């Protein structure tokens, strides 16, 4: 059925409208027979159909039916007999037989449209979900700095170009921008102020000595720097000492048994007198010294002796004057004590006046002081 035919006569239009109305009723009954569409109402189905018609190109086939709906509803009160009579007059059996076929086709179409719409809605929902998931993934990547619109901080001497958000770096750190070293300052970075190396130091070609150095005192000198013109004063280090004589600081001792215990001696500077170095002071005893010492010990164990008396006795025994003196010097005797012992031994033999006893002790070789100490010790 085409639009031109509908416009030919009002009767045919009416017939068509009637047919559409029947279509509508049939469709509804068809749809109601289908469980899925049982609840569909006129208004709702109109709305759905209108929506579907807009969405789908296939709905064009159904469009001609749309305008009939409202008019059909309005004219539904007219007697159907009158209309069917008119219908039979105009188009006969052909018009009467078409509606059922059309309503079936229309129902299938609507079903298809509904299913298509349903399918489209599902696809749209899936698409929305996919977009949401994609957005979440992108947000997550941003949060973890996998994706970062870097905010770069410029490179310095210590750090390369660095992102303040994610810490990513680019390139290398900058080299120091160094000024040349001066006499007193090392190389300095103009950017970060770090000092590199040592100062170049003044360069002085000619020194003037203000004060000579000695072995005990530093000297002084000055010169003008050829680079910066500064007058530089410098100390002249002390000179080395001049070796003089060895001075015994602590004499060696010889025990009564003839063992030498070393002392110390120092090498003195002949200019300033300062000690240059010290060392042990010791001697190796000669055979004569060792034996003279042993003999002295043996005599002292029997009777008291003065220093000279012991030397005389050892010389009498045949020892040299040097060995005898060495033995008397190192025998360890206390000569005051020896004088006291000698005074006591004289008094045990005979009586003596104080002066007589002192004279006798001096005769034995004791000094006046030793003799007086001796007589005092025994009671005078």
Select from 189, 213, 266, 294 the one that contacts Zn ion (CB under 5 A).
189
Select the span of 22-30, 69-77, 82-90, 146-154 touching Zn ion (CB under 5 A). 146-154
In whole angstroms, the minimum distance from the beta carbon of 208 to Zn ion comes to 16
- Residue 191 as a binder of Zn ion (CB under 5 A): the answer is yes
String of DSSP letters for 95-134: HHHHHHHHHHHHHHHHHHHHHHHHHHHHHHHHHHHHHHHH
- CB of 239 within 8 A of CB of 269? no
Select the span of 165-173, 244-252, 335-343, 354-362 touching Zn ion (CB under 5 A). 165-173
**Among residues 271 and 347, whose Cβ is nearest to Zn ion?**
271
Please, which contacts does 366-374 make with residues 24 or more away whose CB atoms are closer than 8 Å?
366/306, 366/335, 366/338, 366/339, 366/342, 367/335, 370/306, 370/335, 370/336, 370/338, 370/339, 371/339, 371/343, 373/336, 373/339, 373/340, 374/336, 374/339, 374/340, 374/341, 374/342, 374/343
Through-space distance between the first and last CA atoms of the chain, rounded to whole angstroms: 180
| Residues between 219 and 238 that touch Zn ion (CB under 5 A) | 225, 227-228
- Report how far Cα 374 is from the mean position of its chain's Cα atoms: 84
In whole angstroms, the minimum distance from the beta carbon of 174 to Zn ion comes to 7
**Among residues 268 and 342, whose Cβ is nearest to Zn ion?**
268
Select from 112, 150, 161, 173 the one that contacts Zn ion (CB under 5 A).
150
**Among residues 29 and 227, whose Cβ is nearest to Zn ion?**
227
SS3 352: coil
**Among residues 202 and 342, whose Cβ is nearest to Zn ion?**
202
| Residues between 197 and 216 that touch Zn ion (CB under 5 A) | 202, 215
- Residue 341 as a binder of Zn ion (CB under 5 A): the answer is no
Residues that bind Zn ion (CB under 5 A): 148, 150, 157, 163, 165-166, 168, 176, 183, 189, 191-192, 202, 215, 225, 227-228, 241, 269, 271-272
């Amino acid at each position: 059925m085409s639009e031109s035919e509908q416009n030919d006569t009002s009767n045919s239009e009416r017939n068509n409208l009637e047919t559409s109305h029947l279509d509508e009723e049939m469709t509804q009954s068809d749809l109601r027979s289908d469980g899925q569409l049982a609840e569909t109402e006129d208004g709702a189905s109109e709305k759905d159909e209108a929506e579907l018609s807009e969405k789908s190109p296939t709905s064009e086939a159904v469009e001609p039916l749309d305008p009939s709906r409202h008019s059909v509803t309005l004219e539904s009160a007219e007697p159907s007999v009158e209309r069917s009579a008119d219908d039979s007059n105009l188009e006969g059996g052909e018009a009467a037989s078409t509606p059922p076929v059309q309503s079936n086709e229309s129902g299938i179409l609507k079903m298809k449209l509904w299913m298509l719409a349903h399918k489209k809605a599902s696809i749209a929902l899936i698409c929305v979900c996919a977009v949401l998931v994609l957005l979440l993934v992108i947000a997550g990547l941003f949060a973890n700095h996998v994706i970062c619109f870097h905010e770069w901080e410029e490179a310095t001497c210590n750090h390369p170009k660095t992102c303040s958000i994610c810490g990513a770096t680019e390139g290398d750190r900058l080299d120091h921008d160094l000024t040349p070293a001066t006499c007193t300052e090392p190389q300095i970075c103009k950017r970060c102020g770090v000092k590199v190396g040592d100062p170049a130091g003044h360069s002085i070609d000619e020194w003037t000595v203000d004060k000579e150095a000695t072995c005990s005192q530093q000297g002084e000198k000055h010169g003008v720097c050829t680079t910066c013109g500064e007058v530089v004063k410098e100390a002249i280090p002390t000179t080395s000492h001049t070796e003089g004589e060895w001075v015994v600081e602590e004499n060696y001792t010889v025990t009564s048994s003839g063992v030498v215990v070393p002392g110390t001696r120092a090498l003195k500077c002949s200019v300033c007198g300062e000690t240059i170095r010290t060392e042990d002071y010791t001697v190796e005893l000669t055979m004569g010294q060792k034996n003279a010492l042993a003999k002295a010990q043996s005599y002292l164990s029997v009777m008291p002796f003065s220093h000279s008396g012991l030397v005389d006795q050892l010389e009498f025994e045949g020892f040299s004057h040097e060995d005898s003196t060495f033995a008397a010097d190192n025998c360890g005797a206390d000569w005051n004590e020896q004088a006291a012992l000698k005074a006591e031994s004289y008094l045990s033999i005979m009586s003596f006046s104080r002066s007589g006893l002192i004279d006798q002790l001096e005769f034995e070789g004791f000094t006046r002081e030793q003799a007086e100490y001796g007589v005092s010790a025994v009671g005078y």
